[in-house]
Amino acid sequence: MTTPTSTETSGERSGGVTVSTAAGGFRTVILTHDADGGSRPTAVSDAPEATGGAGEGPTPTELLLASIAACKAMTARSYAKRKGFPLEDVRVHATIDESGETPRIDATVELGGDLDDDQRERLLAIMERCHVQKIVAAGPSVESRFLAPSNP
């Protein structure tokens, strides 16, 4: 077993996110961490009322879908800006189908602006290479461990 670093002991991270919940509910506050160690509350996730939550935010699955959709939209926006495409707006609707052996995420894309067919096809192709989609498609391992308690 490795000895935790000081940041692991205190619960702070350099970059990444930390979530916390209070006793008695599913409402979860999400903190994002800057590379310099600062953190700020950025979002809330919750379960729907029908499953015991308060419905105060998106579910974790909805956050995953939002991450993919947002990454696709920002990737398209960045590429269009760099190439000088007349992209006015991007809308991505993402859903997940978990009925099969392997879950499938579907993204429907709407691109606004005076784009020709070649520009639309190029934007769709570049959106398929967004960073979050690459991570999800790679099937990353997720490793969990207990945080060492801090010393008073």
Q: Which range marks the domain in which residue 124 is found? A: 60-138
- Per-10-residue mean pLDDT of the chain, 152 residues long, equals 36 71 87 83 90 94 97 98 98 97 96 98 98 95 87 63
- The overall average pLDDT reported for the chain is 88
The secondary structure of residue 121, as a DSSP letter, is H
Q: What percent of the chain has pLDDT over 90?
A: 72
Does residue 146 lie in a domain region?
Answer: no
**pTM for the full predicted model:** 0.81
Residue-level pLDDT at 152? 60
Write out pLDDT tens, residues 8-24. Answer: 334 444 578 889 888 77
Q: Which of 30, 51, 72 is the endpoint of a domain?
A: 51
Measured in residues, the chain has a length of 152
Residue-level pLDDT at 23? 75
Considering the domain architecture, whether residues 90 and 114 belong to the same structural domain is answered as yes
With residue 96 as reference, give the H or E element that holds it.
strand 87-97
